Structures are given as structure tokens and as C-alpha cells.
Structure 1
Amino acid sequence: MTEQLEPMPTDWRRALAIVAHPDDVEYGTAAAVATWLDESREVGYVLATRGEAGIDGVSPQEATELREREQRASAHVVGVSLVEFLDHRDGVIEYGPALRRDLTAAIRAHRPDLVVTINHHDTWGGTAWNTPDHRAVGRAALDAAADAGNRWIFPELADNGLLPWDGVRWVAVAGSPYPTHAVDVTEGFERGVRSLLEHRTYIEALTETDPEAYSRHVLHQITGSAAPRFGDRPAVAFELFPR
């Protein structure tokens, strides 16, 4: 019998989504964000890159402005106004102290109860290999949730006014091949579709499928795959790490 997914915790007020690229949040998580915002919670986005290496045939300089604009429009669809970019290099993000420091600074600045990040595992399941950027950012976000509360790690941050924050209670990993929890996104599904659709230029470079049909198909796939383990409701699944 397939193990059922548990409901995500609800006793929190503020979440911070930390991902690698524009559009990482929109592959499912944005539908959960829409649902959370309906419940009067606060959610912000921090992106390690501006996605400048993501569109073949579009120069990094042009893609930087384009993808930032699409990401802000995408966030606006679900009601997120806080969108920050850290300017690590797209495609070659390095896991290490510099990345951990930047993510620690973001967590200390925004003081979330819940950190949401992207799949840090080697694969999406089976032999579907994950990208190095996702792996680096996901792993660094898990580490930074602890680093943020330790005054002796990156003490220079406190000198700049970013005092330790030990209030992260969970890190939720989206797209993990080992999900444990889920969010019912019945109410947030359509906004999730529209949020992904705002990345129209990126989608048009990715596939010849009509962008709206593509976005709807992707969201149906993501939410449908979790549904059998969550009361047959459209759901977004997470691997939840309590702290």
C-alpha cells in the first residue's frame, strides 16, 4: 500500500522560498503559495540567479532583464511582492560558504518560520538527473536554515545588522523524489497555472506546445501525481525537514 502524505504544518506565519532560477517556484510550488496567501500568511521569494543562461539564442544580458521581469509578474499573480535576486551565475552556482552566507543573510533578513526550496537530491527520481544549480541551492538552503541561528557562523552578518534568527522550524523541499507532506491546492491551482504562464518567453523557447496548454498540463501532472497519496485532491508535495 502506498504511504499517504501528511498535511503540511499550518502553525506558521511567514515563509521564504529560496530557489535557483526564475520559474523554479512556478513548477508547482506557486499553487501552494497562492493557497497559503489566501490564509493570510506571508511569503517571499529569493532567487540565487536571474536565469541569464536559460534561453538558447538569447544573450545573457537580454535574458537577465527578461527573466527578472517575467519572475516579478509571475509572483504578482499569486500575490507575492517580495522578490529578491542574489546574482550568482546561472548554470554554475557553487555550493560552499559564499552561497551559504548569502542564503543565511536572506533568512536573517526575512526571519521565516518555514523555508521552501528546490530538490537537492541527485535525481528527480530514477534516472532523471537533477541540475547542479538545483542541487547546490537546495542543499545550501537546508544548511543556511541552521547557519542563520548560529552567531559564530558568518559573524560579519551581525556586524551589518543581520542578527541571528533561529526561528526556522521546517525546510520544505519541492520536487523531491521522497515527499512526506502535501498541500491541497484546489483553490490555488488556476493561479498556479497563470503564474507559470507568465514565463511565456522561457516556455516558448522550451517547447513548441502552446504556452497555456503547456502550463496547464505541467500543473495537472504535478498536482495529479500527489493526489492518490493525499485523498485524491490536487496537491503539491514536499519533503519536510523539521528543525
Structure 2
Amino acid sequence: MTTQLQAMPTDWHKALAVVAHPDDLEYGCSAAVAAWTDAGKEVAYLLATRGEAGIDTLSPQECAPLREREQRASAAVVGVTSVEFLDHRDGVIEYGPPLRRDIAAAIREHRPELVITLNHRDTWGEVAWNTPDHVAVGRATLDAAADAGNRWIFPELRERGLEPWNGVKWVAVAGSSTPTHAVDATTGLERAVESLVAHRTYIEALTDEDPRTYARAFLTDVAGTVGERFGGRPAVAFEVFTR
């Protein structure tokens, strides 16, 4: 029998989603975000880059502000108003103390109980190779959830007024090939589609298909597949690590 996914914890108020690029959250997470903001929860986005190396036909100087605008518009569709960028270089993000420190600083500032990130493993389900950026940011986010609570790691953050925050209860990894939990996407799926469509420039560079048709087909298929392990309801899956 296929193991059924558990419902995500709901006894939290603030979440911080940390990913590498604009559109990372929209490829599967945003239906859950819409459901959470509908329920009165606060969700903030932190992106390591502005996605400036993501469109071959646009120079990084042209691409960065465009993708930032699309990300902010995309986030607004699902009720997220706090969108921050760290300005690490797209395509060559390095895992290490500087990245961990930047993410830990954001966790101390936002004080979330739930932290969300993207697949940090080498592959997507042992089928497709993951990108170095996703691996670096996902791994650093898992580590930074602990760093944020340790006053002796990155003491310079206290000099900036960012006191330790040891209140992260869970780190939820989207896009994992070994998910443990899920969120019902029924009410958020249409907004998730519109949220992905907001990245129109990126999608138009990716495919000749109509962006809305492309987004709906992709997200509906993923949600339906997850739903087979969640009572038949369309859903968003996460691998949840408890702290």
C-alpha cells in the first residue's frame, strides 16, 4: 500500500520561505501558501538571488529587475507582501557560512515557527539532476534554522540587533522525493496558477505554450499526483523535519 501523507502542522503563526530563485516557490508551493494566508497566517519570502541568469535572451542587468517585479506580483496573488532578496549571484550560489549567516539573520528578523525551502538533494526523485543553487540554498536553510538560535554562531548578528531565535519548530522541504506531509490545495490551486503565470517572461522563454495553459497543466498534475496519497484531494507535499 502507498503510505498516506500526514496533514501539515497548523499550530503556527509565522512562516519564512527561503529559495534560490524567482518562480521556485510557484512551481508547487504557492497553493499551500494561499491556504495559509487565507487562514490568517503570515508568510514571508526570502530569495537568495534575483534570477538574473535565468533567461538566455536577457542580460543579467535587464533580467534582474524584471524578475524581481514578477516575483513581487506573484507573491501578492497568494497574500504575501514581504519579499526580500539577498543578492547572491544566480547560478553560482555557494553553500557556506556567508549564506548560512544571511538566512539565519532573516530567521532572527522574522521569527517564524515554520521555515520552508526547496529540495536540497542532488536529484529530483533520482530522475533529473538538481541545480547547485537549489542544493546550496536548501541545505543552508536547514542549517540556518539551528544557527538562528545559537548566540555563539554569527555573533555579529547580535551587534546588528538580531537576537537569537530558537523558535523554529519545523523545516518543510518542497519538491522532496520522500515527502511526509501535505497541505490541501483545493482552495489555493487557482491562485497558484495565477501566481505562476505572473512569471510570464520566464515562462515565455521556457515554452511556446500559452503561460496559463502551461501553468494550470503543470500544477494540476502535480497536485493530483500528491492527492493520491492525501485522501484524493489535490495537495502540496512537503518533507517535514521537526526541530
Q: TM-score range by the shorter chain?
A: over 0.9
**Runs of 4+ displaced beyond 2 Å:** none
The aligned counterpart of 1:214 is 214
Could you report, residue by residue, the CA deviation over 1:50-73 in whole angstroms, capped at 9, with x for unpaired residues? 000000110000000100000000
The aligned counterpart of 1:238 is 238
TM, length-normalised to structure 1: 0.99
Equivalent residues in 2 for 1:159-198, closer than 5 Å: 159-198=159-198
Equivalent residues in 2 for 1:1-243, closer than 5 Å: 1-243=1-243
- Distance in 2 of aligned mates of 1:62 and 1:231: 45
Q: Which amino acid aligns with 2:39?
A: E
Could you report, residue by residue, the CA deviation over 1:45-100 in whole angstroms, capped at 9, with x for unpaired residues? 00000000000110000000100000000001111000000000000000000000
Shift of 1:214: 0.5
Q: Percent identity?
A: 72
- Distance in 2 of aligned mates of 1:160 and 1:228: 47
Structure 1 gaps, min length 5: none
Shift of 1:126: 2.1
CA RMSD of aligned residues (A): 0.5
- Distance in 2 of aligned mates of 1:225 and 1:147: 35
Could you report, residue by residue, the CA deviation over 1:183-227 in whole angstroms, capped at 9, with x for unpaired residues? 001000000000000000000000111100000011112211101
- Distance in 1 of aligned mates of 2:74 and 2:221: 20
- Distance in 1 of aligned mates of 2:77 and 2:222: 19
Shift of 1:127: 2.5
Structure 2 counterpart SS, 1:229: coil
TM, length-normalised to structure 2: 0.99
Number of residue-to-residue matches in the alignment: 243
